[in-house]
Copies of this chain bind each other. A is one copy, B any other.
Amino acid sequence: MTNDDGYLAKGLRRLADLMRQLGKVVVVSTEQVKSAQGHSMTINEPLRLRLLEQSDDFEMYVLNGCPVDCAKVGFQMILDEYPALLVSGINHGSNASTNVIYSGTMAAVVEACMDGIPAIGFSLEDYSHDAYFDHADSYILDITKRVLRDGLPKGVCLNVNFPKYSEENPIKGVKLCRQATARWKEIFDKRRDPHGREYFWIGGEFIVEDDGTDTDVYALKNNYVSVVPTQYDWTAYDAMKQLKNFEK
């Protein structure tokens, strides 16, 4: 298990508790919040690993790196053999649509997938520190058990997102979806530091340009859990024919 919200995150603790119902759990968490770090690896800084907790069926480590580092260190430095499964999350915030591309949570999942390990990322459409996760429990256990039993197709991992908890609009079920097309429109917040020098923060607005009813964004909006089968082969096979004239 890993995540990108740091080892104190409520979502990580929640997922760990759920996974312990299913078997032995080894957590390698990031020390710091590493949201929006994509498939980043730590190659310019020395890495340090700390063991925080250890019992017969549970180990928890903290690493001063990114989720991808956590996955690599877990698989090849801590464990004697590859695990039956990697799960990442529960992320505080959605990784639906093109957010998957920026996501540290999903980067660890993709990393596991490249190593041939069944892998699932769980994320919740709620950024708050104290997000409510209970409504996701039974779905997480069900999806995880299914993957442990049946495996996943070669080269494919799962990006699972949950709607924010709502008493009036409970979850209706699970939808298998495609990744919605969307993009971030940046907003730059320009400021001046106490020394008079300019700096700025990147913020942004998420713009969904996709009317499809088969997308993860649509499923979430309609109170379904979205499951997007996700692959690390980025080749645009459909474009091959059209681009054939690049060859020479």
Contact = CB atoms under 8 A, between A and B. Distances in A.
Interface of A: 33, 35-44, 46-49, 68-69, 72-73, 75-77, 98, 100-102, 107, 110, 114-115, 143, 146, 152-153, 155-156, 173-176, 178-179, 181, 183-186, 188, 191, 193, 197-202, 227-240, 242-248
Given A48-B199, A178-B233, A239-B153, A76 B186 contact: yes
Contacts of A230: 234-236
B202 A72 contact: yes
Contact of A235 (B75, B179, B201, B232): B179
A229 to B, nearest CB: 4
A42 B202 CA distance: 8
B240 A107 contact: no
A227 B40 CA distance: 24
Contacts of A183: 114-115
Nearest to A193: B46
B40 A186 contact: no
Copies in the complex: 2
Nearest to A69: B202
A188 B248 contact: no
Contacts of A46: 191, 193, 199-201
Contacts of A75: 186
B40 A98 contact: no
A84 to B, nearest CB: 18
Contacts of A174: 246-248
Contacts of A232: 98, 101, 234
